[in-house]
Structure formats: structure tokens, C-alpha cells
Amino acid sequence: MSIKKLLTGITAFDHISAGGLPYGRTTLISGSSGCGKTLFGAQFLAMGIQLFNQAGVFVTFEEQVEDIRINLRTLNWDIDGWERDGKWVFVDASQKDDDTMLVGDYDLSGFQVRLEYAITKCNAKRVVLDSIGSVFTEFQEMNTIRHELFKVTLELGRLDTTSIITTERTEEYGKVSRLGVEEFLTDNVIILRNVLSDEKRRRTIEILKFRGSTHEKGENLFTIHPEQAIVIIPLSAMDLKYRSSSVRVTSGIAKLDDMCGGGFYRDSIILVSGSIGAGKTLLVADFINGIKAKQERCLLLAFEESREQLFRNASGWGHDFAKLEDDGFLKVVCIYPEVSSLEDHLLNIQAIVKDFRPDRIAIDSLSALSRTSTDKAFREFIIALTSFLKHQEITGMFTVTTTLLSGGTSDTEGNISPLTDTIILLRYVEMSGEMQRSLSVLKMRGSKHDSSIRGFTINDKGINIGKPFIGVSGILTGIPIRS
């Protein structure tokens, strides 16, 4: 028999926790400074009011109440209205600037009276204590700390509330809490991390302990959105239940369609790999131009070139992006990857896709996006993005840049190659003292394809794919040898 749970209203959290927080119990949220503990607690209360009409009590031991109100108003939460309606009650237990001196033993009896009064007054079902660690600076003995915390958690349970207590920790992967006692007195422990690695931040949430209850194991990425507060990206929610279409869509190049056995599969992911100037963006332009055949929609996300540059170059290849955009078939978003985290980019892409509803999406290039994160975070981003696109049945074309003109692999390819359905290699080949371009379809999942390595040229009409290189080996290694 499973333990009854209370939906938090934080959608992805309710998924990784298998239904929310255990009902009537206390959960400890631990994390370093700035990881989002207070925001998580406030969101727990706000969602309770907005989605379930459940009143909540927010107890602050550190920040001043007015400062919290100001911060939460930025999320468009009607804190003032909820307070007037008696749905949100603040208990201000923060330290004040006075000369009060404590004499004798200190305990939380007075605080418990105030807490019970607030909970009873608004019939609260949700309570947040932020942050309990600051209270315990008043105590000298560890046993006293445990005793006082035990009384607080016991009282919260007696009042039939589901509660969150936040506390600090000094290391992202060290002790669970600063004092090392809080986690032993609560039923559940959640850890928020804000890890700095290679000068890049990575936020994760991990359910460390859910006593007597199931939950997803391991860390999940999350970001703090300016309008949605904490948004968790649960990799465990990604499933392999999406449909696979047998419908073919054109690449925009008739010869390449022939090489792929009749075009790309709809809802497939195509990776185009090549060095700088190899023709990746041109291949993307043809892919976009291919929407005209069936009047589809395409979203282009450019992370290296400006809109004007893209339109000018496309015009040089005979493609009128401006008209496609005016007709509502193309949406172009140009942005430097460094302006947001990968998690924010993912949320932005999902929002645009849901609004524009494209049939195709082109990202040029993934290598630029990979600069903003660690390898692990980038791979998680790719998994989440490809899963999302496949569920939406969108054909995706991504480009990656290799470091060598004649071949090799990019750092990015290692992360995404296993997740793609089709891989197209664009390479430079030195033949008889002349640099030539080559194109090959390395992988075409679920379909026969032409595996030859063909030369191609670029002119004002775009790409012209020629005949296979005959009697030459070693092209992809960068060392062609005539047999």
C-alpha cells in the first residue's frame, strides 16, 4: 500500500516524486546559497492556492516579509490578494535589529504557539519554514537542536499539514545539511544543487529520501524561469513511445533525396557534420526551402549568424526566406547561445514550437550551443530536445562543426550521434592539388541508402551533387589514396 501524497502543482516534480510530497509529512529541502530553496517553498504554496485552493503559511526566519513579497510579485503571483483573502499567511520570525539579550535556555515554544495560530486561522494545508538553520544559531547543544526540531515537525503533523523546511548546506556534494541533524528528523529529503563546473552553472534537483514512498532516483535538471519559477526537466519522463512515420519529406535537394531512398522520414532527426565552410548552412537552407513542396512550416534557430546574414546568403543560393516568412511558412530566431542556459534554451524552443507549430526545425549550429554547458548537461539537453521533437512529429536538422577541414569528429557529435536517425557528412578532399567537397550519407535508420561518397559543388543555384569518387579510398580519413 502506497503512502498518500499531495500534488505540489510543480508538474515535473510531481512526476519524479511519483505523485507529489507525502501527505501530512515534513520534507527537508537542503541546498547552498542561491540554489532556489525559498523559491521552491513559495511555489509550493502558490501552486496550492492557484490549483487546489489550499491555504498556506510561510514562516521566514531570515528574510524580511516585505522583501519576500517584492520578490514573489515578479512572478505575477497575487501575494497581496491571497493575503487579503486569508489564503496566504506570513509568520515573521526573522531577526530584528534591536538590543534584546537572551538570558537562560532558549526554546521554540513561543514560536510553536504562533505557528499553530496561523495554521488554524487560515486552515492551512501547506506550510513552509524558511530557513530553519538560522534559528539554531541560538542553541549551543546539538541535542537541544534535535529536540526542538522534533517538536516542530511533530506539531506540523498533528495539525494535518504537508510541510517543507529549508536548510543550508556548505558543499554541493558534501554533508546534507550544515548542522548534520536536520535530515535525520524529517521523513523526506530533497537536495537542490547549483554546481559550478568549467565556469558554467548547472542546477539539479535530487530526491534523496522519501521514507516509505517511491520516487525517481538521481539528479534532474531544473532552471528558474522569470515567469514560471522553478521548471524541472525530468529525463526520466522521456519515453520511447513516440510514433515513427513512414512518410518521406524532401531534403530540398532531389539528388540527396535519392541517396536517402526517397527523402528523410518525417519526425526523424538529421545531423549534418562538416567543417567551417563545408556547406552545412546551405544544406539547411535547402531543407528549409523544401517546405514549399507541401506548404509546411519551418522554425530556424540560428546561434552563429544574424538574420540579415542568413537571408542574404539564402538569396545568393536562390532561396527567398523573406517571402517564406511573410507568407507565414518560416520563423527565424537568431540569438547568441551564451545569453541563456541550455535549460532556458530548451524551454524557449518548446514555447516557440507550441506557438508556431512547425513541421520542421533547423538548428544551426549545435556546436555553438555546446559552448554554454558541460558535456553532461549538453547531452541531457539533446536527449530532452530530440524526445520533444519526436513526440511532436517534427523533422529536425541539426548541424555540428568539425575541427578539421578534411574530417574527424566534433566534440558535439559524440553526444548526439546515437540519438539521430540520419547522419550526413560534408568533408573537404584534396585531390590532385585541388580542394574538393564530398558528401556521404553515413547513417539512415530504417531505410536503404546510397553509401557512396560523392563530390559536390556550390553555385548560385545551391548544391550540385555529382558522381561517386571512383578508385579513391581514405577520403573520410583526410588522406585519399588512388587505387
Catalytic residues, by residue number, are: 62, 304
Is residue 21 within 8 Å of residue 243, measured between CB atoms?
A: no
83 and 141 Cβ atoms separated by less than 8 Å? no
CB count, 10 Å around CB of 120? 11
Count H helices, E strands: the chain? 14, 24
Helix (H, G, I), strand (E, B) or coil at 396: strand
DSSP-derived letter for residue 23 is T
Task: Tell me the sheet residues that pair with 398.
Answer: 271, 363
Between helix 307-316 and helix 280-289 the angle, nearest 10°, is 80
Phi-psi region of 19 (alpha: psi -120 to 50; beta: other; left: phi over 0): left
* Cα(59)–Cα(93) distance, integer angstroms: 7
What Cα–Cα distance (Å) separates residue 108 from each residue in 135, 149, 154, 275? 9, 9, 13, 66
Assess contact for 189 and 208: CB atoms under 8 A: yes
As given in the structure block, the three cell numbers for residue 4 are 498518500
CA–CA dist 116, 120 (Å, integer)? 6
Which residues fall within 8 angstroms of residue 461, CB to CB, at 6 or more apart?
A: 317, 318
Q: Do strands 21-22 and 5-6 pair parallel, antiparallel, or not at all (unpaired)? A: antiparallel
Task: Find the helix packing angle between 65-73 and 37-52, rounded to 10°.
Answer: 70
Compute the CA torsion angle 457, 459, 462, 467 (nearest 10 deg): -30
Residue type (1 letter), 349: I
E-state strands within 393-461:
395-401, 422-431, 434-444, 454-459
Rounded to 10 degrees, what is the CA torsion of 239, 240, 243, 247? 130
Output phi, psi for 240, to 5 deg.
-105, 40
